[in-house]
Amino acid sequence: MEFSAQQIASFLGGTIEGNPDVKVSNFSKIEEGKPGTLSFLANPKYEHHIYNTEASIVLVNNDFTPTEPVKATLVKVANAYAGLAMLLNMVEQTKKPKAGINPTAFIATTATIGEGCYIGNFAYIGENVKLGNNCQVYPHAYVGDNVTIGDNCILYPHITVYRDCIIGNNCILHAGCVIGADGFGFAPEGESYKKIPQLGNVIIEDDVEIGANTTIDRAVMDSTIIRKGVKLDNLVQIAHNVEVGDNTVMASQVGIAGSVKVGKHCMFGGQVGLAGHIHIADNVVFGAQAGVISDIKEATTVLGAPAINAKAFMRSSAIFSRLPDMYRTMGQLQREIEQLKKEINK
């Protein structure tokens, strides 16, 4: 598909600086821009690329003022990154979705399949499954007995949804993710461990996206709950009986231990770890590799392990590299004090 700068500006409610008739048919990163492509500038640290890019159109924020000549046509919008997302979504929607049920798929006779669904080769739909309208179930996906899935969901290849789990509308499950496997529950019994049956399920609300090879364990009792709008990256682990609040986002390799309650609108950097049975307030930001062992009761940004306030962590980090010198200085001071004591006693 081909769009002019004028069409893009009209769609996004933006303004144009340059040729309104220039056209693009693809996207590119600003540092690798090619003629006929659209790029964007949202982060000021990449500004130097806009003066050399070969992209024909660049989305920029309304407050961007170039300090050198720019060859590309600029489309100014309130938020360049959000504008790019809108354009990408529009292009994605023009792609014709897969349709039809492949004869190699297994669908239990007690399952209910909504209208307009696609079910690919060797997908498995178990007993009493309820699959909503316009869902796409890709090859080798497994949907266990008594699972309920809402409308407009996408289940990519090799996903596994265990029995009794519930998934809302407009959810995306990427390849290899596992929903509803047993939580890590074992009771010590002498020198061995006895498995604790995991009798609950997982509930995923509307508009949730779950990355490749992410795992969400079923509850011991009741439910592990992922609230609406949550976005989980690849390789995230959510343990049993966890609750993740609305519109919280987690980057890759986050690990949440059992029975944690995470608030709304929280942001997790990569490899963050939360100890079990703690509560996290709304609007908390976790820097990468933060390790949290106790409740966080108000909105804040934390770093480090054990995690502390980000500003305190930065001050501590500045001191950390100087600890060897400080240790030597302290030793020297101690020796001088001892020498002074001896002289005073004389």
Q: Token pair for residue 315?
A: 């001050």
30 phi, psi to nearest 5 deg = -65, -35
Using alpha carbons only, what angle is made at residue 216 by residues 211 and 218, rounded to the nearest 5 degrees?
155
In 3D, which of 18, 27, 66 has the Cα closest to residue 9? 18
If phi > 0 it is left, if psi is from -120 to 50 it is alpha, else beta; for residue 40 that is beta
Task: State the residue for tokens 């060797």.
Answer: 122
Amino acid found at 25: S
Task: State the residue for tokens 């008739």.
Answer: 21
Rounded Cα distance, 273 and 81, in Å: 29
Between the two ends of the chain, the Cα-to-Cα distance in Å is 94
For residue 37, the cross-strand partners are 26
Task: State the residue for tokens 């004389």.
Answer: 346
The residue from 49, 158, 174, 240 that is catalytic is: 240
240 is catalytic: yes
DSSP 221-280: SSEEEE-TT-EE-TT-EE-TT-EE-TT-EE-TT-EE-TT-EE-TT-EE-TT-EE-TT-EE
Rounded Cα distance, 85 and 74, in Å: 17
**Cβ atoms 250, 236 nearer than 8 A:** yes
Q: Token pair for residue 133?
A: 């309208």
- Would you name the residues annotated as active-site residues? 240
